[in-house]
Amino acid sequence: MKDLGARAFNYGYASPVLMVATYNDDGSVNVMNLHECTRTNAGHLALCIGKPKKTHENIEKRGAFTLTLATKEMMAEVDYMGTVSGYRVPDKFEKAGMKAVKSDLFLKKGYSVFLVDQPRRGAAGATEQIVNDPGDVANGKFKVGEQAWYTHFRIGRVAPERYEGSQFPEGDEALEKFFCQMTPNTGNYDEPLFGKALTAVLKDVQTMTGRKSIYVTASGTGSEQNNGAVITNEEKKQKSPLWGSFADFAILDPDLTKTVPMKQVISGAFDTLSHCMETYFGHPHTCNLSDRINEAVQRSVIKNLKALIANPDDDFARSELMWASAMGENGILKLGKVTDFQCHMIEHQLGAYTDCNHGQGLAVLHPILYRHIYKSAEEKFRRWAQEVWLVQDADEGIDFLADFIREVGLPTTFTEMGIILDDDTIRAIATSTIITPGCCKQLTPNEIVEILKECK
Residue 194 belongs to some domain of the structure: no
Q: Can you tell me the mean pLDDT for 278-303?
A: 96
Look at residue 453 and tell me whether its pLDDT is greater than 70.
yes
Q: Can you tell me the distance from the alpha carbon of 224 to that of 213, in angstroms, rounded to the nearest whole number? A: 8
Q: What is the CATH number of the domain that holds 423?
A: 1.20.1090.10
Confirm if 343 and 366 have CB atoms less than 8 A apart: yes
Look at residue 16 and tell me whether its pLDDT is greater than 90.
no
Same domain, 428 and 287: yes
Look at residue 299 and tell me whether its pLDDT is greater than 80.
yes
Residue 125 belongs to some domain of the structure: no
Residue 439 belongs to some domain of the structure: yes
Same domain, 424 and 384: yes
Same domain, 374 and 448: yes
Boundary (domain end) residue, out of 92, 109, 126: 109
The region of weakest confidence among 123-137, 296-310, 343-357 is 123-137
Q: Can you tell me the mean pLDDT for 57-66?
A: 81
Domain that holds residue 273: 223-455
Q: Can you tell me the distance from the alpha carbon of 399 to that of 383, in angstroms, rounded to the nearest whole number? A: 14
Distances from the Cα of 320 to the Cαs of 19, 255, 291, 432, in angstroms?
A: 40, 12, 19, 36
pLDDT band at residue 106 under the 50/70/90 scheme: very low
Q: Can you tell me the distance from the alpha carbon of 86 to that of 141, in angstroms, rounded to the nearest whole number? A: 59
pLDDT, position 124? 40
Q: Can you tell me the mean pLDDT for 37-48?
A: 62
State the virtual CA torsion across 367, 373, 376, 379 in degrees, nearest 10. Answer: 0
| pLDDT digits 0-9 by tens, 375-430 | 999 999 999 999 999 999 999 999 999 999 999 999 999 999 999 999 999 999 99
Same domain, 230 and 353: yes
pLDDT, position 388? 97
Among candidate residues 392, 390, 372, the one with its CA nearest the CA of residue 382: 392
Residue 364 belongs to some domain of the structure: yes
Q: Can you tell me the distance from the alpha carbon of 327 to that of 252, in angstroms, rounded to the nearest whole number? A: 13
Same domain, 346 and 412: yes
Q: How many structural domains compose the chain? A: 3
> What's phi and psi for 249, nearest 5 deg?
-155, 160
Look at residue 193 and tell me whether its pLDDT is greater than 80.
no
DSSP string, 346-388: HHHHHHHHS---HHHHHHHHHHHHHHHHGGGGHHHHHHHHHHH
What DSSP element (H or E) covers 266? helix 262-280
Same domain, 268 and 371: yes
Q: Does the predicted TM-score (pTM) go above 0.75?
A: no
Q: Can you tell me the distance from the alpha carbon of 279 to that of 302, in angstroms, rounded to the nearest whole number? A: 17
Q: What is the CATH number of the domain that holds 83?
A: 2.30.110.10
Boundary (domain end) residue, out of 125, 155, 180: 180
Same domain, 34 and 172: no
Same domain, 335 and 410: yes
